[in-house]
């Protein structure tokens, strides 16, 4: 209470650092505990494969259907469960007048046991019946309310009826399969889609997922070593792609699922490490403040120590006094930090898209907290306790105790460390933001504004495209419409097995494949660079394709228009496809990667998954959507109307990086604030310590600027030293981080200059307040003796 300003800075700065570290720690724990809901997490894996195309290795979880049979027959002892599954897809579920669109999978009957789902009602082996469906609790409640769900019949996608055989607990959000809102039997999948049954012996059709559970006495590496060449040995012609199989453990699905040229290169784990390091350094900055201010202030208490010793205090009593004071201040700071976390946690969850709760009942958390409080108080209180308790009372009370030449060196080193961390944070945050903006400013290749996509993956939509196109355009809400087999912002199918004139003998192509209606380019405002667009009046265009710019270069075609492409996987008399035009590249994958070579084929099989609607720009977007929904409901009254703005969908590709960038900026600002608090307190101490010197200088004619310069220059020197240390460290770290992005920003010199200027400006502003205050003080007061 006697030193209120010092106490506020010391306790407030430490509390802020603790609060930031607590929040980051909770976030890191949430990331590392992903999939902890699954009790068999350590034994569950997904089968991945790597294949080589023209020297480049591609890796992914898509596998061919015959692989399941080969693994069951020849390698069954290596697995407790093998579970084939479809890709997660939204389907329409109808019961009475209720209609929902929910995401789920078709899976083999071992899935509930492998995932150890918490069955609330019904039976865990509920997928044995071909017409069964298992529902999550939230979906069951939405469909049936208070009714008993078991035995009820649900209409699925207007195609078939399914009996509810089980209701399972919703899988928490920080887990894989958290979007598994229903499970349908794999056997039903085979009957609904004829092409899947035909894929039994197609080793080149990588359209499926395969999950595995290994025995307790086995390891992922052992099983991988056993099965890695199965596809290569069994697949015939596919062996030319040198396929290698491996198990990707469930523990790696979320954090380490990125691969480059066949090698696992991490994933979100880099962000976990990034924030763990930020949290550690923010806490370090707060502790440095605490240590600096505690040691600076403790020198003023030398006389107190001398008097205590002279009246009989033992050294261990003085040590205990200083350590207990340090513990008390740290405890106050921790309590304040917990209050700050409770106030900020909801906002942090919204920003980070998390559902983190404060771990009140987690004993491990409180044990770590107690250890942390003890460690911090010991760290901050050890110097004054050990150093001051060693003073001889005679020297102190006579006033002959002098601080050595290097007494202030430890504080200077700590200030340099503080600002090294702060400057490195500034550089890192600027580069992260630059990388995000670099990708956001990249030309998309089509006009995303006013473009809406509507999923149409139900049999209700079959044969209705022309009708709906006419109805939507006639309504005045839509000026153009097309349909496609994949969303605008994603690639759903990659194909090979093509031949064309001039194709090198050893060329192994991997091309993105999308089937579209003739109006596709018009609805997206795609630019035709060569040739022409589809013409629905020309019967020959049913065998026509458009290719993108990248495909033209990839296929080595100088004059592509008129070139015929033959699909070797389809037997004659299927006619060759004729290239009629080249369209501008459009980003359908990650905006941080190069555009993939793509073919847009005339849709003659009705393979439509999305309607692409170009809204009328002369009307409001909300009015257009309302009109479209009314038209939709007239023709599909039992199907929920769903839509997405393509620009919003595209923006989601930046969501993860933007969240990381925003959080980095916030934590960097807090790190700088903590550093400034410490610098402010230290400047105050130095000004107080040199009060008489400043008074003498003023009496002898020194100006305010002279005194300001005297007090400021030492701190500016420390910040300059910090910048020289921080710049190479930041360059090395951020250059390594950028290597993960094929499409990336360059490290410009001005970024580092900006960080240096910013650090200097912050230092000057922080120091100037105390320096000018000291320089403006009346010298008579400072020179008056006791």
Q: What phi and psi values does residue 125 have, to the nearest 5 degrees?
A: -90, 35
The predicted pLDDT at position 304 comes to 80
What is the predicted pLDDT for the residue at 572?
47
Give the pLDDT score at 197: 76
First to last CA, the chain: 23
Q: What is the pLDDT of residue 396?
A: 67
Short-list 706, 718, 708, 672, CA closest to 408: 718
Distance (Å) of CA 7 to CA 21, 329, 387, 733: 21, 8, 21, 36
Looking at the DSSP bridge assignments, the partners of residue 577 are 565
User: Residue 211 pLDDT more than 50?
Assistant: yes
Q: With 50 as the cut, is the pLDDT of residue 254 above it? A: yes
147 burial via Cβ count (<10 Å: 0-12, 13-18, 19+): exposed
Mean pLDDT of 80-91: 93
Alpha-carbon dihedral 590, 595, 596, 601, rounded to 10 degrees? 110
Q: What proportion of the chain, given as a percentage, has pLDDT over 90?
A: 49
Please state the three-class secondary structure of 303-316 as a single string: HHHHHHHHCCCCHH
How many other C-beta atoms lie within 10 A of the C-beta of residue 342?
11
Per-residue pLDDT tens digits for 741-757: 888 888 888 889 988 99
pLDDT value at position 262? 87
Task: Band the pLDDT of 404: cuts 50, 70, 90.
Answer: low
Angle at 710 between CA 705 and CA 715, to 5 degrees: 115
pLDDT, residue 401, reads 57
Q: Which of 314-328, 424-438, 671-685 has the lowest mean pLDDT?
A: 671-685
Alpha-carbon distances, residue 367 vs 19, 341, 677 (angstroms): 17, 18, 29
CB atoms within 10 A of CB 331: 15
Instruction: Look at residue 69 and tell me whether its pLDDT is greater than 90.
Output: yes
Reply yes or no on whether the pLDDT at 785 is more than 80: no
Which residues, listed in sequence order, are joined to residue 94 by a DSSP beta bridge? 99, 155
pLDDT confidence of residue 332: 92
Give the pLDDT confidence score for residue 298 in this predicted structure: 63
Buried-state track 58-80, b at ≥16 Cβ within 10 A, e below 16: bbebbbbbbbbebbeeeeeebbb
Distance CA(166)–CA(122), nearest Å, equals 4
Q: Of the segments 309-318, 464-473, 674-683, which one has the largest average pLDDT value? A: 464-473
Contact 309, 384 (CB under 8 A): no
Give me the mean pLDDT over the 550-557 stretch: 94
Once rounded to an integer, what is the mean pLDDT over residues 234-250? 90
| pLDDT 10s digits, 416-431 | 888 888 899 889 889 9
**Is residue 151 over pLDDT 80?**
yes
53: pLDDT strictly greater than 60: yes
pLDDT for 291-318, tens place per residue?
Answer: 777 766 666 677 788 888 888 888 888 8
Using 50, 70 and 90 to split pLDDT, how confident is the model at 573? Answer: very low
Mean pLDDT, rounded, for 526-531:
95
249 sits in which H/E element: strand 244-249
- The SS3 call for residue 48 is strand
Q: Which of 113-122, 597-606, 759-768 has the lowest mean pLDDT?
A: 759-768
Q: Tens digits of per-residue pLDDT, 374-396?
A: 988 887 777 777 777 777 777 76
* Per-residue pLDDT tens over the stretch 344-369: 999 999 988 888 999 988 888 899 88
| H-state helical runs in 541-653 | 549-554, 621-635, 646-651
- pLDDT (tens digit per residue) in 123-141: 999 999 999 999 999 999 9
pLDDT value of residue 683: 78
The predicted structure's pLDDT at residue 297 = 67
Q: Which pLDDT score, from 0 to 100, does residue 403 have?
A: 56
**What pLDDT is attached to residue 519?**
96
pTM attached to this predicted model: 0.84
Is there a contact between 225 and 245 (Cβ–Cβ < 8 Å)? no
Q: What average pLDDT does the structure give for the chain?
A: 88
E-strand spans in 20-97?
Answer: 44-53, 56-60, 63-64, 81-85, 89-95
């Amino acid at each position: 209470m006697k030193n209120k300003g010092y106490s506020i800075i010391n306790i407030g700065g430490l509390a802020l650092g603790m609060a930031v570290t607590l929040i980051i720690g909770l976030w890191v724990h949430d990331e590392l505990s992903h999939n902890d809901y699954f009790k068999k997490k350590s034994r569950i894996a997904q089968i991945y494969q790597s294949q080589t195309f023209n020297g480049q290795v591609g890796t992914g979880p898509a596998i061919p259907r015959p692989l399941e049979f080969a693994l069951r027959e020849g390698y069954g002892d290596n697995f407790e469960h093998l579970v084939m599954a479809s890709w997660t897809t939204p389907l329409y579920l109808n019961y009475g007048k209720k209609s929902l669109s929910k995401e789920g999978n078709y899976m083999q009957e071992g899935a509930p046991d492998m995932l150890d789902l918490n069955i609330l009602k019904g039976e865990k082996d509920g997928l044995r019946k071909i017409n069964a469906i298992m529902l999550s609790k939230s979906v069951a409640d939405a469909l049936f309310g208070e009714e008993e769900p078991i035995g009820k019949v649900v209409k699925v996608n207007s195609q078939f009826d399914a009996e509810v055989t089980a209701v399972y607990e919703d899988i928490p959000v920080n887990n894989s399969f958290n979007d598994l809102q229903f499970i349908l039997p794999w056997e039903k999948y085979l009957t609904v889609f004829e092409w899947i049954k035909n894929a039994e012996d197609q080793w080149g059709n990588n359209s499926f997922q395969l999950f595995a559970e290994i025995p307790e006495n086995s390891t992922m590496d052992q099983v991988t070593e056993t099965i890695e060449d199965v596809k290569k040995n069994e697949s015939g012609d596919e062996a030319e792609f040198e396929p290698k199989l491996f198990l990707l453990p469930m523990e790696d699905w979320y954090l380490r699922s990125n691969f480059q040229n066949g090698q696992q290169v991490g994933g979100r784990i880099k962000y976990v490490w990034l924030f763990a390091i930020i949290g550690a350094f923010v806490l370090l900055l707060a502790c440095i403040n605490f240590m600096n201010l505690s040691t600076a202030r403790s020198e003023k208490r030398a006389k107190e120590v001398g008097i205590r010793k002279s009246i009989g205090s033992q050294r261990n009593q003085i040590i205990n006094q200083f350590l207990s004071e340090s513990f008390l201040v740290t405890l106050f700071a921790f309590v304040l930090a917990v209050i700050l976390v409770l106030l900020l946690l909801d906002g942090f969850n919204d920003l980070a898209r998390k559902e983190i709760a404060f771990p009140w009942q987690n004993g491990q958390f409180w044990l770590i907290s107690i250890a942390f409080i003890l460690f911090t108080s010991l760290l901050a209180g050890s110097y004054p306790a050990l150093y001051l308790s060693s003073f001889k009372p005679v020297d102190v009370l006579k006033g002959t105790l002098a601080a050595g030449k290097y007494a202030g060196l430890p504080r200077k080193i700590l200030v340099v460390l503080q600002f090294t961390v702060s400057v490195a944070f500034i550089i890192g945050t600027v580069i992260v933001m630059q990388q995000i903006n670099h990708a956001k400013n990249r030309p998309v290749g089509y006009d995303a504004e006013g473009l809406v996509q509507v999923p149409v993956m139900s049999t209700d939509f079959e044969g209705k495209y022309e009708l709906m196109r006419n109805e939507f355009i006639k309504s005045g809400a839509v000026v153009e419409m097309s349909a496609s087999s994949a969303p605008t912002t994603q690639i759903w199918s990659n194909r090979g097995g093509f031949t064309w004139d001039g194709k090198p003998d050893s060329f192994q192509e991997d091309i993105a494949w999308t089937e579209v209606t003739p109006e596709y380019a018009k609805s997206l405002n795609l630019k035709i660079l060569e040739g022409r667009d589809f013409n629905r009046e020309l019967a020959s265009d049913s065998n026509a394709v458009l290719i993108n710019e990248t495909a033209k270069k990839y296929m080595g075609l100088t004059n592509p228009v008129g070139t015929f492409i033959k699909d070797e996987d389809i037997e004659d008399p299927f006619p060759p496809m004729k290239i009629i035009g080249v369209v501008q590249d459009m980003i359908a994958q990650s905006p941080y990667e190069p555009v993939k070579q793509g073919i847009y084929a005339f849709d003659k099989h009705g393979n439509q998954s999305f309607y692409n609607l170009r809204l009328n720009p002369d009307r409001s977007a909300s009015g257009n959507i309302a009109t479209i929904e009314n038209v939709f409901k007239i023709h599909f009254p039992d199907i929920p109307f769903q839509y997405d703005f393509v620009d919003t969908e595209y923006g989601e590709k930046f969501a993860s990086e933007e969240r990381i960038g925003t959080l980095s900026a916030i934590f960097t600002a807090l790190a700088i604030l903590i550093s400034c608090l410490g610098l402010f307190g230290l400047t105050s101490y130095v000004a107080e310590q040199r009060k008489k010197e400043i008074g003498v200088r003023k009496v002898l004619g020194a100006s305010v600027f002279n005194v300001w310069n005297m007090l400021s220059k030492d701190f500016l020197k420390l910040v300059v030293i910090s910048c020289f240390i921080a710049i190479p460290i930041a360059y090395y770290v951020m250059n390594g981080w950028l290597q993960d992005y094929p499409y990336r920003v360059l490290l410009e010199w001005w970024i580092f200059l900006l960080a240096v200027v910013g650090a200097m400006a912050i230092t000057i502003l922080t120091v100037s307040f105390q320096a000018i205050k000291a320089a403006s003080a009346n010298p008579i007061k400072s020179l008056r003796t006791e």
